[in-house]
Amino acid sequence: MAYFAVIALFVLAVLVAGGFVAASHLFGPKRPGKIKLAPYECGVDPVSSPRQRFGVKYYVIALLFLLFDLETVFIVPWAVIYRGALAEWGAFIFFEMLVFIGVLALGLIYVWKKGALEWE
């Protein structure tokens, strides 16, 4: 009984949303045409199929971007903690981040040497 108001509000929201969708479907104009059924691409006529395939290189570069972009998720909190760290932990935290950045740099060098960053 404690959640009656929440449940009633949820049911009311579902009924209202469903009612609006049903009303627009029943009473809305239905005049389909070639232009209305065409996919919209920022005002430009489509030039190719929307189901075109992308090369694997595209996904590799996207994953590498995510990997090196997420690096900042670890570096920013580290910088905040390092700034307020005690004197005895300061050197340890600094060298720990140097190791982290070194591993990432080795990964970047490896990817660069393999040619994964070459866009063709």
Per-position DSSP letters for 25-65, written without gaps between them? HHHS-----HHHHSPPBTTB---S-TT----HHHHHHHHHH
* Any domain includes 16: no
* Any domain includes 92: yes
Rg of the chain on CA atoms, in Å: 27
* Any domain includes 18: no
85 band by pLDDT with thresholds 50, 70 and 90: low
Range of the domain at 65: 56-114
pTM, two decimal places:
0.49
User: What's the total number of domains in the chain?
Assistant: 1
* Any domain includes 89: yes
Q: Alpha carbon 4 to chain centroid distance? A: 37
Highest mean pLDDT among 4-18, 36-50, 52-66, 103-117: 4-18
56 band by pLDDT with thresholds 50, 70 and 90: confident
Q: What is the pLDDT of residues 9-42, one digit of tens each?
A: 999 999 999 999 999 999 988 888 887 777 766 7
* Any domain includes 60: yes
Q: What pLDDT was estimated at residue 46?
A: 66
